[in-house]
């Protein structure tokens, strides 16, 4: 079978590279962050495959599909249809669960419709998304919401003083006038002084709180919020609506179905004494045990299909999940593994599967399980492409392509292509890092005290008592689902909220207008330098102000709304996507205009700027391993690891804080981890306490103190199985993490 061939690729920072990818093999792309791996795999191979596939559809269908530009390559031969399995959240809404996204819930519904007793109906009667099966009280959400009157009203204020906290009801607004001009209320009377009848009028529109509203324009605040916010899925609504909902209403378990989402008839139907909600609430291992006991020959094939799906989820390291788990709550690593399992059940072959760091968020114990699934995909006749930094994943590759030698302008070349044994001998950053074994810390720092956590029992934590040391670096580890993130990010962080700086992988901003320069606070300085050089106002060099392109308003794109269809997004022809008008572009600093300055990487910018504040922030970007980022790159395009490191850069100057980091090595090349460890030492040496949730063995080796949560995931986790120094873990611990640590040292 002919290999995939790419000739003369110059996408982004790639320097006219040519390479081949063998079909029906596992090919791993590795190299430092920003070297060009993603430009090859995602921006070229995946995008071109999708573009050519989309061209085969009718015009109406194409108009609804994403638009992919043609990659900057001389020639690409022998492409196949591709499936991208990245770390983006699965999304969905409150009705999207592990069961629905994996397809296992549909099979369970079919099983209950066939052998469940007493008979309740066809498969649709067991769906919480179908009127036949859903609980009518909560509409299948499992939760009901109630207006929090105390959150809505300021009891000490009158209408003229703005007694309703919602901005829609500010004095003088349209909604305010409906009530103020109704003649039903004293506008200067505080709510606290209202009689019972007046209070009912305010909340329900009638004096007894039950009848029809006295004024059709005054239906009552309670009814207003019930209609607009309650018992509705608002996960896809605007950020403003979601924030309002969170602040004005209280959420609680449905009083009828008790969170099970289904009506009485569906919940009354049982198999082996369990209804469908009971089975979906079990951990996957427990669910498998129940299904294995079913001996009814009528459903042998169906039961086997469900068990095979569960086995794949368990095998990939997700035994602690349950089918009722909402998909928005899954981490990026969990979402990617769930996608992988979903594709494993596909009967399609001859495809190219593309994975973005599938080992992210995985304990070393679980990596081999995922490797087995990758091999299975290959053995079915598929081509598997993996962007990865983990040594254990790279080791299973049939073919390795190392991109480098450095990041940004110093990258963009193929520095190695060959087998894994050949990579171990290669004189590249990856080859050297693969051969290097970091030693274990022999003389850890001594703690300057500790902060206690007592009786922690959130989720699967089993009344955990633990002390978090102060003034040193503590690494909290354990297999996925053991409870380490719950213990640190949810319990510990909440207990000592005022002293903690959380540096996680969550989104930084909801807008694509934020950049590293604006986030780190030196964009204003750049604009001042341009203003000083040109004699023009600072605002001219902001695409949010006077410098914005008049056609696109500083967005760089034109969005065409199509009513019932998805909007079409096209690059602004007036500014070419750079966001600025001609007047702003005509001004320069050291021969570079504002767009050219924002197009510099952090390392390049250090050669241009002399301003002390700018240079200080640029050096911090280098310290956290982000020297390859351009100053104007939208923050919405950063990976989870990059988002975390730029948050760290923002908080690096703080002293005496407790900094909590959640898997900071995500997306980092092996050669960069050593630099990250030096940064950790710097943070601690400044008097900070550093708590790191991490699976990376090199980070564990350099910890001052280790806290291992386990012994396994889910219901088998939630306990502290070891506390001590890395040397003590190596000598005497009998945990899964200790076993992995010993194996890494040979």
pLDDT tens sequence across 688-731: 999 999 999 999 999 999 999 999 888 889 999 999 999 999 99
- Whether 378 contacts 346, CB under 8 Å: no
pLDDT tens sequence across 320-331: 899 998 887 776
| pLDDT exceeds 70 at position 91 | no
pLDDT tens sequence across 265-286: 999 999 999 999 999 999 999 9
Centre a 10 Å sphere on the Cβ of residue 332 and count the other Cβ atoms it contains.
22
What average pLDDT score do residues 431-440 get? 91
- The reported pLDDT for the residue numbered 308 is 92
- The reported pLDDT for the residue numbered 503 is 87
pLDDT tens sequence across 215-239: 888 888 888 877 776 655 565 566 5
CA 525, distance to chain mean position in Å, is 32
Helix axis angle, 332-344 to 300-315, nearest 10°:
140
- Whether 628 contacts 603, CB under 8 Å: yes
The owner of tokens 């073919």 is 399
Strand duo 689-693 + 473-477: pairing: parallel
List Cα–Cα distances, 455 to 111, 452, 458, 462, 465, in angstroms: 41, 10, 9, 8, 6
CA atoms within 13 A on the CB side of 636: 6
Contacts of residue 214, defined as CB under 8 A and 6 or more positions apart, other chains included, come to: 184, 201, 205, 206, 207
Contacts of residue 394, defined as CB under 8 A and 6 or more positions apart, other chains included, come to: 28, 30, 388, 400, 420, 423, 434
Q: What percent of the chain has pLDDT over 70?
A: 94
Give 117's pLDDT tier (boundaries 50, 70, 90). Answer: very high
| pLDDT exceeds 60 at position 392 | yes
Burial of 152 from C-beta contacts in 10 A (0-12 / 13-18 / 19+): buried
- The residue with greater pLDDT, 43 or 87, is 43
Tell me the three state secondary structure of residue 78: coil
Contacts of residue 194, defined as CB under 8 A and 6 or more positions apart, other chains included, come to: 202
What strands, in cross-sheet order, belong to the sheet with 689-693?
500-503, 658-662, 689-693, 473-477, 705-710, 719-724
What average pLDDT score do residues 566-595 get? 89
Give 579's pLDDT tier (boundaries 50, 70, 90). Answer: very high
- The reported pLDDT for the residue numbered 228 is 72
In terms of average pLDDT, the best of 147-151, 377-381, 472-476, 656-660 is 472-476
- The reported pLDDT for the residue numbered 719 is 96
**In angstroms, rounded to a whole number, what is the distance separating the alpha carbons of residues 599 and 388?**
27
Centre a 10 Å sphere on the Cβ of residue 243 and count the other Cβ atoms it contains.
10
| pLDDT exceeds 60 at position 259 | yes
In terms of average pLDDT, the best of 158-162, 326-330, 353-357, 469-473 is 469-473
Kindly calculate the radius of gyration of the chain based on its CA atoms and give it in whole angstroms.
Answer: 29
pLDDT tens sequence across 286-304: 999 999 999 999 999 999 9
- The reported pLDDT for the residue numbered 236 is 56
Residue 160 structure tokens: 């003229």
pLDDT tens sequence across 395-420: 999 999 999 998 877 899 999 999 99
| pLDDT exceeds 80 at position 346 | no
Is the link from the previous residue into 405 a cis peptide, with omega within 30 of 0? yes
| pLDDT exceeds 70 at position 174 | yes
**In angstroms, rounded to a whole number, what is the distance separating the alpha carbons of residues 579 and 555?**
6
Burial of 566 from C-beta contacts in 10 A (0-12 / 13-18 / 19+): exposed
| pLDDT exceeds 80 at position 25 | yes
What φ, ψ does residue 467 adopt, rounded to 5°? Answer: -110, 125
What average pLDDT score do residues 596-616 get? 93
- The reported pLDDT for the residue numbered 106 is 95
Give 511's pLDDT tier (boundaries 50, 70, 90). Answer: low
Query: pTM of the predicted model, to two decimals?
Result: 0.81
Residue closest to 708 by CA, chosen among 484, 489, 440, 410? 484
What average pLDDT score do residues 209-216 get? 82
End-to-end CA distance of the chain: 39
- The residue with greater pLDDT, 328 or 48, is 48
Mean residue pLDDT across the chain:
89
- The reported pLDDT for the residue numbered 407 is 80
Residue 584 structure tokens: 């702003």
Range list of β-strands (E), 572-698: 658-662, 689-693
| pLDDT exceeds 90 at position 67 | no
- The reported pLDDT for the residue numbered 344 is 73
Lowest-confidence pick of 151-155, 267-271, 346-350, 565-569: 565-569
Residue closest to 602 by CA, chosen among 638, 637, 629, 635? 629
**In angstroms, rounded to a whole number, what is the distance separating the alpha carbons of residues 638 and 632?**
12
Residue closest to 358 by CA, chosen among 399, 397, 390? 390
What average pLDDT score do residues 453-468 get? 94
- The residue with greater pLDDT, 33 or 632, is 632
**In angstroms, rounded to a whole number, what is the distance separating the alpha carbons of residues 594 and 547?**
10
CA angle 119, 120, 122 (to 5 degrees): 100
């Amino acid at each position: 079978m002919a290999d995939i061939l790419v000739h003369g690729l110059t996408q982004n920072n790639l320097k006219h590279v040519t390479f081949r990818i063998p079909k029906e093999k596992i090919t791993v792309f590795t190299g430092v962050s920003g070297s060009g791996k993603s430009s090859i795999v995602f921006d070229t191979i995946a995008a071109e495959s999708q573009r050519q596939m989309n061209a085969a559809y009718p015009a109406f269908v194409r108009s609804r599909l994403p638009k992919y530009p043609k990659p900057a390559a001389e020639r690409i031969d022998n492409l196949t249809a591709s499936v991208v399995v990245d770390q983006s959240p699965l999304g969905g809404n409150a009705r999207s669960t592990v069961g629905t996204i994996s397809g296992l819930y549909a099979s369970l519904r079919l099983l209950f419709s066939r052998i469940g007793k007493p008979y309740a109906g066809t498969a649709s009667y067991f769906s919480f998304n179908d009127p036949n099966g859903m609980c009518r009280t909560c509409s299948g959400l499992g939760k009901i919401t109630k207006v929090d009157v105390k959150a809505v009203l300021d009891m000490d204020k009158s209408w003229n003083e703005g007694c309703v906290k919602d901005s829609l009801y500010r004095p003088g607004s349209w909604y305010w006038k409906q009530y103020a001009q109704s003649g039903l209320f004293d506008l200067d009377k505080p709510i606290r002084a209202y009689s019972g009848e007046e209070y009912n009028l305010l909340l329900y529109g009638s004096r007894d709180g039950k009848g029809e509203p006295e004024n059709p324009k005054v239906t009552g605040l309670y009814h207003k919020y019930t209609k607009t916010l309650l018992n509705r899925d608002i996960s896809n609504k605007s950020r403003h609506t979601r924030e309002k909902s969170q602040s004005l209403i209280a959420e609680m378990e449905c009083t009828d179905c008790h969170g099970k989402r289904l009506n009485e008839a569906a919940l009354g139907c049982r198999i082996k004494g369990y209804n469908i909600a009971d089975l979906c609430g079990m951990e996957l291992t427990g669910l498998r045990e129940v299904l294995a006991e079913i001996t009814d020959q009528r459903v042998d094939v169906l039961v086997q299909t469900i068990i095979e799906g569960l086995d794949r989820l368990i095998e990939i390291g997700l035994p602690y999940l349950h089918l009722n788990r909402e998909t928005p709550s899954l981490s990026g690593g969990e979402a990617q593994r769930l996608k992988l399992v979903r594709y494993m059940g596909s009967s399609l072959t001859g495809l190219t599967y593309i994975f973005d760091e599938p080992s992210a968020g995985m304990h070393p114990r679980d990596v081999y399980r995922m490797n087995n699934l990758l091999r299975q995909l290959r053995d079915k006749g598929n081509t598997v492409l993996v962007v990865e930094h983990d040594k254990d994943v790279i080791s299973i590759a049939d073919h390795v392509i190392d991109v480098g030698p450095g990041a940004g302008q110093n990258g963009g070349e193929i520095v190695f292509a060959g087998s894994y044994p050949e990579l171990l001998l290669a004189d590249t950053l990856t080859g050297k890092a693969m051969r290097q074994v970091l030693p274990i810390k022999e003389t850890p720092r001594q703690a300057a005290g500790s902060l206690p956590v007592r009786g922690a029992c959130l989720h699967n934590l089993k009344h955990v008592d633990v002390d978090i040391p102060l003034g040193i670096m503590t690494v909290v580890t354990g297999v996925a689902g053991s409870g380490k993130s719950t213990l640190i990010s949810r319990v510990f962080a909440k207990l000592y909220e005022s002293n903690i700086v959380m540096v996680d992988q969550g989104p930084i901003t909801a807008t694509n207008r934020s950049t590293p320069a604006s986030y780190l606070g030196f964009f204003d300085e750049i604009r001042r330098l341009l203003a000083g050089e040109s004699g023009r106002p600072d605002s001219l060099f902001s695409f949010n102000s006077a410098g914005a392109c008049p056609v696109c308003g500083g967005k760089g794109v034109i969005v065409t709304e199509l009513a019932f269809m998805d909007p079409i997004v096209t690059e602004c022809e007036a500014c070419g996507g750079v966001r600025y008008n001609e007047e702003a572009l005509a001004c320069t600093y050291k021969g570079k205009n504002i767009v050219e300055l924002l197009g510099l990487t952090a390392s390049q910018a250090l050669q241009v700027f002399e301003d002390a504040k700018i240079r200080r922030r640029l050096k911090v970007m280098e310290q956290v391993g982000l020297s390859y980022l351009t100053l104007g790159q939208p923050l919405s395009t950063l990976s989870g690891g990059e988002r975390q490191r730029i948050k760290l850069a923002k908080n690096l100057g703080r002293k005496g804080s407790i900094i909590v980091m959640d898997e900071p090595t995500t997306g980092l090349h092996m050669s960069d981890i050593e630099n990250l460890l030096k940064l950790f030492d710097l943070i601690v040496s400044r008097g900070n306490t550093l708590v790191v949730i991490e699976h990376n063995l090199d980070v564990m080796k350099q910890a001052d103190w280790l806290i291992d949560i386990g012994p396994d995931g889910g219901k088998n986790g939630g306990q502290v199985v070891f506390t001590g120094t890395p040397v003590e873990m190596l000598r005497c611990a009998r945990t899964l993490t200790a076993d992995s640590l010993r194996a890494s040292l040979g």
